[in-house]
Structure 1
């Protein structure tokens, strides 16, 4: 069984009634009605094509990608821990 690389997108909408149409692009993890955004998981290899399709939609305001892959995951020991 292979693990498929996935990434998350934060999609800001003009109206939350369009949340249903967003479902066909990926898996919705979280939605906030007050701030009008949806967190969506998609396959990483299809990310560019999906973002391009989403930006063409009239009801999408802004799309933010996940910063997770740019975060530092391996930490070195601090100087005070070495001695």
Structure 2
């Protein structure tokens, strides 16, 4: 199934709370479920979640608890480009 949309969700945790932010993000379920989901981390204390969606409804991760965040969550939507 080819993706019609990729959503990127990126948050930076308060210093030293990256593991808590990661656990929070991994614990979030999406309904409907994406065709594919990947979770990545980067220094300092960043968590990135990329989801791929076919045509149709999508679900986005919510904002985590404010006490975990260094700054607001960033979100991007990407559409595939034919080769």
Q: Secondary structure at the match of 2:7?
A: strand
RMSD: 3.0
> Which of structures 1 and 2 has the bigger CA Rg?
1
Q: What TM-score results when the alignment is normalised by the length of structure 2?
A: 0.53
Counterparts of 2:50 and 2:77, CA distance in 1: 13
Question: 1:58 corresponds to which residue?
Answer: 67
Greater relative contact order structure (CA < 8 Å, 6+ sep): 2
Question: 2:46 corresponds to which residue?
Answer: 37
- Structure 2, gaps ≥5 residues long: 29-36
- Structure 1, gaps ≥5 residues long: 75-83
Count of matched residue positions in the alignment of Structure 1 and Structure 2:
65
Q: What TM-score results when the alignment is normalised by the length of structure 1?
A: 0.53
The 8 Å contact of residues 6 and 78 in structure 2, kept in 1 or not, is answered as no
The 8 Å contact of residues 11 and 37 in structure 1, kept in 2 or not, is answered as yes
